[in-house]
């Protein structure tokens, strides 16, 4: 089983602070599935404004974190290293429970379809075993400019 620490993740996807939203990959099957974690802390800048007296992780960042796990699974193979995955669509997103500082989000992204450089990922996010978000993401893999 392939696991990745944050330094190894940064060798695969181009994201950096404050937009790198995967702290560790617990399980990776290239071109099939990835399981990653995001440790949510009060030190993150978005909590200053979302919301100051009741901090909640923005849903758009949960979507991005789940997509990054899928991107790692897509970009891990040698033939895709150095490339970038672009969002081309988002479907069926649902937010089930708020994510707050102190939570550890476990995200699973499965690649359900690929055709050429295009593909679809189905992803879910859990905190303490409870579903907090889910969705499907479409992407295109491209050379970096």
15 is catalytic: no
3-state secondary structure of 73: helix
Q: How far is CA 39 from CA 5, 89, 101, in A?
A: 13, 26, 8
* Whole-angstrom distance, CA of residue 129 vs CA of residue 76: 27
Return the closest-CA partner of residue 121 out of 141, 103, 105.
141
* Whole-angstrom distance, CA of residue 34 vs CA of residue 72: 7
Q: Residue 15 in contact with residue 21, Cβ under 8 Å?
A: yes
* Whole-angstrom distance, CA of residue 145 vs CA of residue 47: 33
Single out the catalytic residue among 15, 46, 50, 126: 50
Q: Catalytic positions, please?
A: 50
């Amino acid at each position: 089983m392939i696991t990745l620490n944050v330094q190894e993740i940064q060798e695969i996807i181009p994201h950096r602070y404050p937009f790198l939203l995967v702290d560790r990959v617990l399980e990776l099957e290239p071109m099939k599935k990835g399981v990653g974690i995001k440790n949510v802390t009060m030190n993150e800048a978005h909590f200053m404004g979302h919301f100051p007296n009741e901090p909640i992780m923005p849903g758009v960042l949960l979507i991005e974190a789940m997509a990054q796990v899928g991107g790692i699974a897509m970009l891990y193979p040698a033939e895709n290293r150095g490339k970038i995955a672009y969002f081309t669509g988002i479907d069926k997103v649902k937010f089930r429970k708020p994510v707050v500082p102190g939570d550890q989000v476990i995200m699973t992204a499965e690649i359900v379809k690929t055709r050429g450089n295009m593909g679809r990922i189905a992803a879910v996010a859990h905190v303490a075993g409870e579903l907090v978000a889910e969705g499907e993401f479409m992407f295109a893999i491209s050379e970096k400019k």
